[in-house]
Amino acid sequence: MLARVIVLAGPSGSGKSRLAARLGLPVLRLDDYYRDHDDPALPRITEGANAGLADWDDPASWHGAESVDALEALCRDGRVETPVYSIPTSSRTGFHQLTLDGAPYVVAEGIFAHHVVAQLREHGLLAAAYCVRQHPAVTFWRRLTRDLREHRKPPLVLVRRGVALMHAQRRIVAEAVAAGCTARTPHEAYDEVQRFPVPA
């Protein structure tokens, strides 16, 4: 294998994408493996104010096995074709080539990232796994301002989802830790990765 994977899990809005960009490594966006809005296997919310809408926080809304295959191909071959996903339209809009360019590590980040930790470890591909965490109020505000700025969904849906996720944050972090992630702030995770050995 040419590289190993650094997993960045954690609640939406916790700073995973910002940390991934700061690390300066190739990044595979696991959120690009969401199902399209018209996929019959896409789960739906069954109760509450958002009943009937797609449940984008359910792991079944995501092609996890496909993302693991892509990470394995990237680490083995140095390049892989990955989808480009539009969150506002809830659909794939194309594909692009992701390459290692000699990097010894690749970052895999997304809200379902903790679901790939066990498989990557079994395949000998895992370098580290972090659950990026912030104070719930900080995460809520950063997520809401980002989603409104990018017009990801209607504002009322974003507010309702944001409140639900804020209340669920402790559970989300606990699930990621149980799956093998280490809970760290973005700054703590960044400092640890900077100390990783660089293969000769």
Q: How confident is the model at residue 190 (pLDDT cuts 50, 70, 90)?
A: very high
Q: What is the residue type of 62? A: W
* Cβ atoms of residues 50 and 105 within 8 Å: no
Provide the pLDDT for residue 133. 87
Q: H-helix or E-strand containing 99?
A: strand 91-99
Q: Measure the CA angle with vertex 56, ends 96 and 111; round to 5°.
A: 65
C-beta neighbour count of 80 within 10 angstroms: 21
Please identify which residue in the block is written with the tokens 């209340």: 167
- Spatial CA neighbour of 116 closest among 63, 76, 160: 63
Percent of the chain with pLDDT over 70: 99
The mean of the pLDDT values for the chain is: 90
Using alpha carbons, list the distances in angstroms from residue 132 to 95, 99, 113, 123, 165: 27, 25, 11, 23, 15
**Lowest-confidence range among 6-10, 110-114, 155-159?**
155-159
Higher pLDDT, residue 140 or 89: 89
C-alpha–C-alpha distance, residues 169 and 161, integer Å: 12
Q: What is the pLDDT of residues 155-174, one digit of tens each?
A: 777 777 767 777 777 888 88
Whole-number pLDDT of residue 21? 94
In the sheet that 126-132 helps form, which strands lie side by side, from edge to edge?
27-29, 105-109, 4-9, 126-132, 182-184
For domain 4-194, the CATH class is alpha beta
Residue with the larger pLDDT of the pair 152 and 99? 99
Tell me the pTM.
Answer: 0.83
